[in-house]
Chain A
Amino acid sequence: EAQVTQNPRYLITVTGKKLTVTCSQNMNHEYMSWYRQDPGLGLRQIYYSMNVEVTDKGDVPEGYKVSRKEKRNFPLILESPSPNQTSLYFCASSLSSGLSYGYTFGSGTRLTVV
C-alpha cells in the first residue's frame, strides 16, 4: 500500500531532550515536507526537500533540523525541544518537486513538550 509512515504517533517529552520523528514513504516520491498544525494557525511548513541532499526552510524552521540522505526517509529532529513546539506534526510527500501532484500525508505525530 502506498503510504507515508510517521513514528511515533504520540510523544510526550521534557524540555531540552533531543528527539527525532521519523518519516518514510514507499512511493519513490522526490518531494517531502514537514508541517505543524496548531489550532487557529492551520498547517505551517517547517522544512521541505526537493530530492536527496536538497533541503530548505519553510515558514517556521526555528528549532528544527532535517536531513534527506535517502529518497524514502525525511526525519525531523528537535535538538532541544521547548513547550512552544507542542503541536501536531505531519510529514508529506509528492511525486515531483513541481507539485503538480497532490501531497500524500502521514497520519501525524502528536508531540507534547513539558
Chain B
Amino acid sequence: SQKIEQNSEALNIQEGKTATLTCNYTNYSPAYLQWYRQDPGRGPVFLLLIRENEKEKRKERLKVTFDTTLKQSLFHITASQPADSATYLCALLDTGRRALTFGSGTRLQVQP
C-alpha cells in the first residue's frame, strides 16, 4: 500500500542552526511533492512544490530536495528562528484520485 512517512518525533534545534526534515514514501511514483507548514489549530500553508525532474528547489531560507531513486525528500530551513516552530507536512499527488495525500508531519521546535 502507499505510504508517506515523516519522523513523528519532534525536532528540537537551536536558533540559527539548519533544520532538516525528512519525508520518505513507498509505492508512489509522484510527479511532484509539496511541503506545507501548519500551526496548531490552523490550516496548512503551502510552502514549496518540487517536480520529479528537479533535484533541488529554494525559496528564501527554505530548500527542498527530491530523490526519486531513494524515494525521499529533504526539507531544510537555514538560519532557523523561533517563529519557524510549527509542524511541517509533506504531500504527494495520488494521480488515480487527483488528490494530495499528506504525511502525518514533523513538529519543529526552534529554541531561542
What residues make up the interface of A, taking CB atoms closer than 8 Å to B?
4, 31, 33, 35, 40-43, 45, 48, 50, 56, 58, 88, 90, 92, 97, 99-108, 110
Contact = CB atoms under 8 A, between A and B. Distances in A.
B45 A105 contact: yes
B89 interface: yes
Interface of B: 31-32, 34, 36, 41-47, 49, 51, 89, 93, 97-105
Contacts, number: 62
Contacts of A31: 98
A102 B45 CA distance: 9
Residues of B contacting A: mostly: strand
B49 A100 contact: yes
A45 B99 contact: yes
Given A42-B103, A42-B105, A43-B89, A102 B98 contact: no
B97 A56 contact: yes
Given A43-B44, A102-B34, A107-B43, A50 B98 contact: yes
Contacts of B47: 102
A110 B40 CA distance: 12
Nearest to A6: B43
Contacts of A108: 41-43
A102 B46 contact: yes
